[in-house]
Amino acid sequence: MAGDFIRVRCNDCENEQIVFGNASTTVNCAVCGTTLATPTGGKAEIPHEVVETVDAR
């Protein structure tokens, strides 16, 4: 999961958003502003529901 793109569902508003697994900045929900991912120096901490890992297109 670390270097992949991950589809995450916001626990507050149910919005689904794609986040980079190694996010180096805080990622907020585009709808309600809740923090979806927090950088940790490696794999991002994602305290919300991970829906799927997005495959390369």
With a cut of 60, say whether residue 13 has pLDDT above it: yes
Q: State yes or no: 17 annotated in a binding site.
A: no
Q: State yes or no: 54 annotated in a binding site.
A: no
- 3-30 average pLDDT score: 94
Q: Are 48 and 38 in contact (CB under 8 A)?
A: no
**Distance, CA of 31 to CA of 10 (rounded, Å):** 9
Q: State yes or no: 7 annotated in a binding site.
A: no
Q: Are 36 and 30 in contact (CB under 8 A)?
A: no
In the prediction, which pLDDT does 55 show?
77
Identity of residue 55 = D
Which pTM does this prediction carry?
0.81
Q: State yes or no: 43 annotated in a binding site.
A: no
- 10-33 average pLDDT score: 96
